[in-house]
Amino acid sequence: MLSPALYPFQKKSGHTIVLIDVLRFTSTMTTALANGAVYAETFADVDAALQARGNDYSYKLVGEKGGAFIEGFNFNNSPVAMTHQNIGGRKLGFVTTNGTYMRSLMDNDQKIYAGCFLNGKALINRLLEEDCDVQLVCSGCHNKPAVEDTLFAGMVADKLLKSNKYRYWEDVVPMCRMLYRTAKQDLKKYALRHSLVLRSRYNEYINYRDDLDFSFRQNIFDVVPEEEEPYKFVVNNYV
């Protein structure tokens, strides 16, 4: 599924959900949990996050609205800011334009993982071990598809289908897969060439450039964020 606008028409009951927001929510959250954050809690709006924090200033808020830093928050929605020094041992609350909004639309009775290029191999291995029905849910950009999310969905679909444990039932799956196969030699270069939004941000904002460069790195974290309870992502180590 390529954007939140499609979710009411395409949601699947009983499926394991992979939430995708490469730039930048799932990349930021994955980095934070890999670097020692206790958990990452998602909120649909700023007021709810501020209320959840209350006077507990060990609870750090991370996010953006319309790409802009949120007043009263501790960190922008930036994976490069999620260092162990900044967030190790901290509880985190997230509000983002696309990723946490997408999560707010989902049912609470489904297993939800978070995926990005940073943890792609770990995520795919987890899905192959479980051999479950899977729906790849892209957060997109302002209710429209985003190239980077579609590329990641295509990569996951490609690996799962090659395993012969999975089949697809909707045409969007081979569409994403074909896009990934076209771009896989240099995913970042392809995304910048074909996305006006990414190209303009990359050229205009140095901080965003650092985030984009980092988010297109592949398989640097062996963690899979998953919801332990509704809206609260953790990393569970399975033996």
| Kind plus residue range of the DSSP H or E element containing 29 | helix 25-34
In this prediction, residues 88-95 reach a mean pLDDT of 97
- Report which residue type is found at 48: A
What local confidence, expressed as pLDDT, does residue 12 receive? 84
Question: Which CATH number is 38's domain given?
Answer: 3.90.1560.10
SS3 content of the chain, % helix, strand, coil (to 5): 45, 20, 35
**Mean pLDDT of the residues in the chain:** 95
User: Looking at the domain assignment, is residue 234 inside a domain?
Assistant: no
Tell me if 236 is assigned to some domain.
no
Reduced to 3 states (helix: H, G, I; strand: E, B; else coil), residue 194 is helix
**What pLDDT is stored for residue 26 in this prediction?**
98
* Residue 69 resides in a domain: yes
- Is residue 239 assigned to a domain? no
pLDDT at site 238: 54
Phi, psi of 232, rounded to the nearest 5 degrees: -120, 110
Could you tell me if residue 237 is inside a domain? no
Total number of domains constituting the chain:
1
In a domain, 112, yes or no: yes
The range of the structural domain enclosing residue 71 comes to: 4-229
**Does residue 235 fall inside a structural domain?**
no
Choice between 236 and 143, residue whose per-residue pLDDT is larger = 143
Within its chain, how far is the Cα of 227 from the centroid?
13
Q: How far is CA 184 from CA 29, 176, 180, 192, in A?
A: 24, 12, 6, 13
- Which whole number is the average pLDDT over 77-85? 97
Please give the pLDDT value at position 159: 97
pLDDT at 18 over 70: yes
Coil, helix or strand at residue 160? helix
Res 239 pLDDT > 90: no
Report pTM: 0.96
Contacts of 2 (CB under 8 A, 6+ apart): 138, 140, 145, 149, 150, 153, 172, 176
